[in-house]
């Protein structure tokens, strides 16, 4: 189907009658909007178009295929040049489908991105006409970078939630983030980050913030849901049965079950006194915050003390409130966002935390820390810039325990005070 003016997807059946090849046509590959529309018509793909365009499409199909209806048009396709993309599919156990290698479909599958192909219509079985003429189609990729500096600006700050969500998936993996109770979105009262993680990636999320209304269905999001619903309706089971690409697209665009929880509490150690929130944190796949303000240090300390994946995009510093936060290697109090980023990186064991610049405007430095690298093979904490050699790290002021919990290990990345 032609899902939008920039993207179309289809599956080819090989001449051997058993091989299926998934294909995608994307604007990022160089397919112009007008060319892609004409190619969708040539391939007899259904599209989400206006009534006038539908009428024109039907006329074109009838002229090209005699009296055959679009549903019975057979198009021969010859791919001349293409690139490949690996897509992941998640099928239930026992749902084994035929794949292009003739065996059981695996979770990884290659999808072709044609850059040059030719098409022609096949006559109907009862027709005496010959096959139509070949027509060649070519994508025009954008010119490669010549090494010169460009004036291209980062994406607008309104996209920071989508940029951060994509980076979370990259660093912690989609399957990893879907484990347990999912992602804890600290100080995410606006719901932007949780919306991206839940509706785009299907990751369970819980917002902890005493303010805000959580994920609200704005007019923009309503249009997004409507568009995705229309796209899902264009993926029939007959296509999905033979196409991992169709399965992947349907899973991506389908609305996940449930909703984003919103717990209107402060993110502090008192959450460990309530069995519900305590279990939520202990079983979480990651603890994250996008411009979480005063909760920035608590995210890092909670993640370190509980050996959880954590990530934060800091913004405000609050030096008067946190005079003990020092710039690494100095006795100076952290007073800028850049200094705070360095401070957060040095809170973690050496090599556990990394800094990355998101492709958006504003405060865009993100710190990611992977929880499972805290221990070495002997079960001891790895060395870090702030490790005193005893296996205990300083910096627990943002997430202090009133007393060590019974389940606390003898050694850990943070002293439980």
Measured distance CA(416)–CA(130) in Å, rounded: 81
pLDDT digits (tens, 9 = 90+) for 385-407: 344 333 333 335 677 644 444 55
Please report which confidence band the pLDDT of residue 221 belongs to, taking 50, 70 and 90 as the band edges: confident
Mean of per-residue pLDDT scores for the chain? 78
pLDDT number for residue 415: 40
- Is the pLDDT higher at 231 or at 218? 231
Across the range 274-295, mean pLDDT stands at: 93
Across the range 92-109, mean pLDDT stands at: 44
pLDDT number for residue 181: 94
Measured distance CA(241)–CA(12) in Å, rounded: 13
Q: Which residues are CB-neighbours of 336 under 8 A, at least 6 positions away?
A: 317
Across the range 232-257, mean pLDDT stands at: 88
Measured distance CA(237)–CA(230) in Å, rounded: 15
pLDDT number for residue 372: 61
- Show the tokens assigned to 26: 């994307």
Q: Does pLDDT of 130 surpass 80?
A: no
**Helical packing angle, 219-233 and 244-253, nearest 10°:** 150
Q: Does pLDDT of 61 surpass 60?
A: no
Q: Does pLDDT of 374 surpass 60?
A: no
Across the range 53-62, mean pLDDT stands at: 43
pLDDT digits (tens, 9 = 90+) for 335-365: 999 999 999 998 888 778 999 999 888 889 9
Lowest-confidence pick of 75-79, 175-179, 248-252, 280-284: 248-252
Please report which confidence band the pLDDT of residue 217 belongs to, taking 50, 70 and 90 as the band edges: confident
Q: Does pLDDT of 261 surpass 60?
A: yes
Across the range 171-185, mean pLDDT stands at: 94
pLDDT number for residue 239: 92
Q: In what order do the strands lie in the sheet with 182-186?
A: 261-263, 205-208, 182-186, 284-290, 309-313, 365-369, 353-357
Lowest-confidence pick of 214-218, 273-277, 368-372, 391-395: 391-395
Please report which confidence band the pLDDT of residue 104 belongs to, taking 50, 70 and 90 as the band edges: very low
pLDDT number for residue 390: 30
Strand partners of residue 79: 117
Across the range 130-152, mean pLDDT stands at: 72
Residue the block writes with tokens 């996209």: 159
Q: How far is CA 124 from the centre of its chain?
A: 43
Measured distance CA(124)–CA(67) in Å, rounded: 9
pLDDT number for residue 52: 36
- Using DSSP, state whether 411 is helix, strand or coil: coil
Q: Please provide the DSSP assignment of 151-201 as one string.
A: -PPPBPGGGHHHHHHHHHHHHH-HHHHTSTTEEEEET-TT-HHHHIIIIIH
Q: What is the pTM of this model?
A: 0.67
Measured distance CA(18)–CA(232) in Å, rounded: 26
pLDDT number for residue 397: 61
Lowest-confidence pick of 167-176, 224-233, 292-301, 368-377: 368-377
- Is the pLDDT higher at 253 or at 412? 253
pLDDT number for residue 125: 64
Q: Does pLDDT of 240 surpass 50?
A: yes
Lowest-confidence pick of 11-20, 35-44, 241-250, 395-404: 395-404
Q: Does pLDDT of 98 surpass 50?
A: no
pLDDT number for residue 97: 41
């Amino acid at each position: 189907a032609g899902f939008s003016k920039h993207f179309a997807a289809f599956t080819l059946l090989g001449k051997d009658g058993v091989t299926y090849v998934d294909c995608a046509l994307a604007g990022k590959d160089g397919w112009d909007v007008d060319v892609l529309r004409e190619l969708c018509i040539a391939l007899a793909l259904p599209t989400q178009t206006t009534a006038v365009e539908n009428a024109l499409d039907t006329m074109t199909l009838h002229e090209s295929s005699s009296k055959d209806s679009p549903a019975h048009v057979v198009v021969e396709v010859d791919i001349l040049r293409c690139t490949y993309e690996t897509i992941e599919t998640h099928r239930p156990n026992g749902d084994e489908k035929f794949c292009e290698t003739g065996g059981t479909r695996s979770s990884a599958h290659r999808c072709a991105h044609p850059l040059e192909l030719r098409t022609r219509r096949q006559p109907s079985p009862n027709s005496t006409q010959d096959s139509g003429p070949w027509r060649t189609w070519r994508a025009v990729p954008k010119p490669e970078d010549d090494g010169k500096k460009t004036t291209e600006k980062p994406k607008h700050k309104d996209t920071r939630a989508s940029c951060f969500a994509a980076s979370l998936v990259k660093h912690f993996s989609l399957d990893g983030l879907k484990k347990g109770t999912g992602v804890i979105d600290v100080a995410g009262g606006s719901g932007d980050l949780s919306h991206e993680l839940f509706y785009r990636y299907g990751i369970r999320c819980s917002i902890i913030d005493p303010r805000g209304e959580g994920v609200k269905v704005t007019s923009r999001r309503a249009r997004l849901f409507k568009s995705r619903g229309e796209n899902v309706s264009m993926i029939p089971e007959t296509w999905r049965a033979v196409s991992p690409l169709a399965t992947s697209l349907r899973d991506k665009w389908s609305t996940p079950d449930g909703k984003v929880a919103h717990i209107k509490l402060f993110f502090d150690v008192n959450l460990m006194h309530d069995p519900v929130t305590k279990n939520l944190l202990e079983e979480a796949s990651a603890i994250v915050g996008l411009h979480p303000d005063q909760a920035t240090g608590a995210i890092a300390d909670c993640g370190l003390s509980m050996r959880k994946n954590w990530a934060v995009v800091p913004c405000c510093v609050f030096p008067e409130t946190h005079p003990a936060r020092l710039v690494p290697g100095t006795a100076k109090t952290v007073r800028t966002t850049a200094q705070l980023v360095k401070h957060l990186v040095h809170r973690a064991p050496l090599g556990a935390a990394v800094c990355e610049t998101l492709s958006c405007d504003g405060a865009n430095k993100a710190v990611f820390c992977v929880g499972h690298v805290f221990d070495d093979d002997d079960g001891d904490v790895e060395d870090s810039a702030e490790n005193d050699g005893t296996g205990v790290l300083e910096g627990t002021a943002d997430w202090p325990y009133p007393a060590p919990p019974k389940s606390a290990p003898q050694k850990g990345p943070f002293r439980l005070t």
